[in-house]
Amino acid sequence: MIERWQARVRAMSLLAGLALLALALLGLQYGASTYVQRVAVDIGIMIILTVSLNLSNGYTGVFSLGHTGFMALGAYGSALLTMTPQVKALNLPDLPAWLAHVHLGFLPALVLVGLAAAAVALAVGYPILRLTGPYVAVATLGFLVIVHIVIINAQAYTRGARTFLGLAPLTNLWWVYGAVVVTIYTAWRIVNSPIGRAMLAVREDPVAARGAGVDILRARLWSFAVSAFFTAVAGALWAHFILAFSASSFWFAVTFEVIVMLIVGGLGSISGSVAATVALSILSEVLRNAERGVTLFGYHTPALYGLSQIVFALVFIAFIVYRPQGLFGDREFSLWPILARWYPPLREAVMAGRQLAE
């Protein structure tokens, strides 16, 4: 009884949340400056990166430092699929014929690069994911280095170390937040399913997980492939938003940024990842503006370039030292305790329902 009621409330709050998101997007589209819109797009892409990395690093305990490689795959791969043959002839004259004539829509390109990244994740993960702890981190970092070198050398496809350009500006708020919703929904479903429980069991104790019948490698490959899928989608969205990038765009800076957001939010908390990404993105945006020097209450601060990165790193260190479990730990944000505090009859109803059940 109480459970059915809770399920109904959950479904209603999900719909309400989606409606609120749609309203916010409408507001951003018609009422916000281009600058604010760009920040919102950036935040959405970071949310996808953080939530998908959480599946592997947070839930399964496979601490990957190589996901930026999947992001690069998504960026370059999707660009090669969506660019018109004319633009490709101009920018990438050495492209093989079959690829030079491909011209796909944005959605099929996103799905294809996601699937390609998942396939690469399975191939790379098969040998790597037998390792544990720091060895996995180092091995995945090796994957990132390989991707970087391939990008620089595969000149016909990537223009090497030079800037890659010629993409159409396909990414907008709706694409990004559509992908955010799909990512969070998928992660949520997986986490609350046998697959998710197997992933958590593997993180907690691989020996006992085997003893409960869990195939460790299979669980790790699942999480690695799904998170690679969404990381590549985020890379594709980012590419069609920033429009010009190079091999160095997919290197340690992004890797570090996403991992900071993940850890500040809490390994194993989807809502934590979202909250930390929003908060840290806004903080770093404010600081980036302050770097040029600002006038506050009549005082003018000097220009402090690099301020945002330094504060970012300090926030990270502070969390590691004082709150290593992050904002949310491995728990999820829930409306119930808040509703129950505001509206005592609800709390009593829930308690009564629990007693009845026992």
Partner 1 sequence: MSLLVVEGLEKSFAGVHAVAGYRLELPEGAIHGVIGPNGAGKTTLFNLISGYVRPDAGRVRFAGRDITHLPAEARVRLGLARTYQNIRLFKSLSVLDNVRVAAQLHGSAPFPHVLLSTPRFRASEARIRREAEELLDLFGLGPHRDARAGSLPYGLQRKLEIARALAARPRLLLLDEPAAGMNPAEAAQLVAQIRSIRDRFGLTIMLVEHVMPVVMGLCDRIQVLDHGEIIAEGSPEAVRRDPKVVEAYLGTAVEA
Binding-site member from 109, 117, 139, 201 for partner 1 (CB under 8 A): 201
Binding-site member from 213, 302, 306, 345 for partner 1 (CB under 8 A): 213
Is residue 195 near partner 1 by the rule CB under 8 A? yes
Is residue 18 near partner 1 by the rule CB under 8 A? no
CB of 98: closest distance to partner 1 in angstroms? Answer: 31
Total residues interacting with partner 1, rule: CB under 8 A: 24
CB of 203: closest distance to partner 1 in angstroms? Answer: 8
Is residue 211 near partner 1 by the rule CB under 8 A? yes
Residue 87 near residue 244, CB atoms below 8 Å: no
Using the contact rule CB under 8 A, the part of the chain among 24-32, 97-105, 212-220, 345-353 near partner 1 is: 212-220
Residue 310 tokens, joined: 């330094």
Residue 41 near residue 171, CB atoms below 8 Å: yes
Binding-site member from 13, 29, 193, 301 for partner 1 (CB under 8 A): 193
| CA–CA gap between residue 273 and residue 62 (Å, rounded) | 17
Binding mask 310-339 for partner 1 (x = CB under 8 A): --------------------x---------
Largest CA distance in the chain: 72
Is residue 208 near partner 1 by the rule CB under 8 A? yes
Using the contact rule CB under 8 A, the part of the chain among 61-69, 140-148, 183-191, 301-309 near partner 1 is: 183-191
| CA–CA gap between residue 293 and residue 285 (Å, rounded) | 14
What is the dihedral angle through the alpha carbons of 243, 167, 100, 153, rounded to the nearest 10 degrees?
Answer: -10
| CA–CA gap between residue 224 and residue 234 (Å, rounded) | 15
Distances from the Cα of 12 to the Cαs of 9, 26, 333, in angstroms?
5, 21, 17
Binding-site member from 176, 214, 236, 239 for partner 1 (CB under 8 A): 214
Nearer to partner 1, 140 or 183 (CB): 183
Q: Where are the alpha helices (DSSP H) in the chain?
A: 2-31, 34-53, 67-82, 85-91, 97-100, 106-128, 134-153, 155-158, 173-191, 194-204, 206-211, 216-242, 252-265, 270-290, 307-322, 335-342, 344-357
Binding-site member from 215, 248, 320, 323 for partner 1 (CB under 8 A): 215
Is residue 198 near partner 1 by the rule CB under 8 A? yes
Q: DSSP letter string over 194-236?
A: HHHHHHHHHHH-HHHHHHTT--HHHHHHHHHHHHHHHHHHHHH
Is residue 92 near partner 1 by the rule CB under 8 A? no
Is residue 17 near partner 1 by the rule CB under 8 A? no
Is residue 348 near partner 1 by the rule CB under 8 A? no
Chain residues binding partner 1 by CB under 8 A are 186, 189-190, 193-195, 197-198, 200-201, 204-205, 207-216, 330, 358
